[in-house]
Amino acid sequence: MSGEEINPYELLEVKVESTDQEIRTAYRQRSLKVHPDRNPNNPEAARKFHELNQAYELLLDPLRRLALDAKLRLKQARTERYKNYDLKRKNMVDELEERERALKKTKADKQKEEAARFQETEKIKDQGRRLREEKSKELEKKEQEANKAAKGEQETDAPTLQSTDTTLRVKYLLTEHPTLTTASSLASLFAPFGPTDVETIVVSLKSPKKFPHKPPKYGTALVPFKRIGDAFAAVCATGRPERGLGGIEVGWIGGTEPEILGWLRKKGHLGPSGSGLSKESQVQRSEEKALPPQTQTRASGSNEFFSFPSSLPDFCKPSDTPKVGEIDYESLTLMRLRQAERARLEREILEQEANEN
């Protein structure tokens, strides 16, 4: 309620000089008439009852009532002066008041416009903030998916091929294989499986420790292949006479197969760990057994004993051996480390043979 628009005294129907008790009585009487519960069909009842309450509170406040009385006296005096004005002066006063009202209205409209613009700006800011948050969450989600995919790819990467992964440990009775006493003879024995590093083959022929004068009973050797696939084929053929390894034990150095074979088996490129053969190799072995003996060793092509899967990664394949003049410092260092590893393994074999004897 605005004091300039509605006169509280007129609203409560009391005089300016009325006492507080008279104002309370008038309020009770008026409130019974305009109360919303008694006027359910009047949409203006709630507004009138609110204005009545404001007028009642204003008149019971001494300070606010004094200010209202002073304002009403000024208004009354201005009205009296206006009556005494001539027509020209009245027009000037009316024009001035109209301008003031227009100025107030313009100012109020400007404030409303600024408030509406501010709300619209805040709304746009909120929308932009939400879009940025959604975009950030989307990018974060994509980054997490990319990291997860990269992590999955890393988990599926093949292990690194070690320098000793192509080396096999061979054990045999010298009475059954008296010719296997040199590196060249062992290289010739395993030649059908693939090329070997003849220069680094280690052969051990040692008599029993309790009977040093007797001839050696067993022969052991370390045979490094140039390709892990060839070494795998030799291990698969251990003890098989039709492959030329009857009575010869061929196994991985250290007793465990290289990690790369486990990775290939996990990928389904090799058969179960007990068989050591892929499904293709098992089928091939069954077919070879059904062939005549003279054709069994030629059933699989030029490299008849090679049973390693063709899907072996390129990094398992040996690189070309560099010429003597092209060996750099790094290659020379690796060669020396490999020779040292061979020497260590030879000592372990000798110690193991001594313990067995």
For range 256-277, the mean pLDDT? 67
Tally of domains in the chain? 3
Answer whether residue 2 is part of any domain. no
Q: Are residues 124 and 187 in the same domain?
A: no
Identify the pLDDT of residue 177.
Answer: 85
Q: Are residues 198 and 333 in the same domain?
A: yes
Domain end point (choices 61, 84, 107): 84
Do the domain assignments include residue 130?
yes
Least confident of 187-191, 253-257, 299-303: 299-303
Is it the case that residue 9 has pLDDT exceeding 70? yes
Q: Which of 48-52, 251-255, 304-308, 328-332 has the lowest mean pLDDT?
A: 304-308
Whether residue 1 lies inside any domain: the answer is no
Alpha-carbon gap, residue 98 to 92, rounded angstroms: 10
Q: Which residue has the higher pLDDT, 54 or 312?
A: 54
Cβ-contact 72, 7 below 8 angstroms: yes
Give percent of the chain with pLDDT exceeding 90: 16
Clarify whether residues 152 and 172 are in a common domain. Answer: no
The amino acid present at 90, given as its one-letter code, is K
At residue 266, what is the residue type?
K
At residue 71, does pLDDT exceed 60?
yes
> Do 220 and 292 share a domain, yes or no?
yes
CATH code, domain carrying 24: 1.10.287.110
32-52: per-residue pLDDT in tens? 888 988 888 888 889 989 999
Residue-wise pLDDT for 10-36, tens only, equals: 999 898 899 999 999 999 999 988 898
| Distance, CA of 334 to CA of 341 (rounded, Å) | 10
Average pLDDT over residues 120-149: 88
Last residue of a domain, one of 102, 129, 157: 157
For residues 224 and 248, give the distance between their C-alpha atoms in angstroms, rounded to a whole number: 16
Domain stop point among 157, 179, 212: 157
pLDDT band at 309 (very low <50, low <70, confident <90, very high): low
Domain that holds residue 280: 167-356
Q: Is the pTM of this model over 0.75?
A: no
Looking at the structure, do residues 14 and 126 belong to the same domain, yes or no?
no
pLDDT score for 158:
66
Q: List residues bridging with 196 in a β-sheet.
A: 225
Identify whether 328 is part of a domain: yes
Grade residue 5 by pLDDT with cuts at 50, 70 and 90.
low
DSSP letter (8 states) at residue 221: E
Cα–Cα distance measured from residue 274 to residue 199, given in angstroms and rounded to the nearest whole number: 32
Bridge partners of 228? none
Quick check: is 162 in a domain?
Answer: no
**Residue-level pLDDT at 154:** 56
Residue 143: inside a domain, yes or no? yes
Same domain, 38 and 106: no
pLDDT score for 156: 59
Q: Where residue 60 falls among pLDDT bands split at 50, 70, 90? A: very high
* 71 and 99 fall within a common domain: no
- Are residues 99 and 171 located together in one domain of the fold? no
Q: Is residue 3 part of a domain?
A: no
Comparison of pLDDT for 5 and 30, the residue scoring more: 30
pLDDT at residue number 217: 79
151 and 174 assigned to the same domain = no
Residue 147 lies in a domain: yes
pLDDT band at residue 317 under the 50/70/90 scheme: very low
Round the average pLDDT of the chain to a whole number and report it.
77
Q: Average pLDDT of 65-80?
A: 88
Question: pLDDT tens across 78-128, in order?
Answer: 888 877 777 777 777 788 888 898 999 999 999 999 999 999 899 898 888
| Mean pLDDT value across residues 134-158 | 78
Residues 309 and 330 grouped into a single domain: yes
- The C-alpha R_g of the chain, in whole angstroms, comes to 54
Residue 229's pLDDT is what?
Answer: 84
Do 80 and 97 have their domain in common? no
Tell me which residue of 199, 164, 167 sits closest to 184, measured CA to CA.
199
Q: How far apart are CA 210 and CA 332, in angstroms?
A: 41
Burial (CB < 10 A; 0-12, 13-18, 19+), residue 251, is: middle
Are 256 and 181 members of one domain?
Answer: yes
What are 172-183's pLDDT values in tens digits? 888 888 888 888
Average pLDDT of the segment spanning 215-240: 86
Which of 225, 239, 257, 224 is closest to 172 using CA atoms?
239
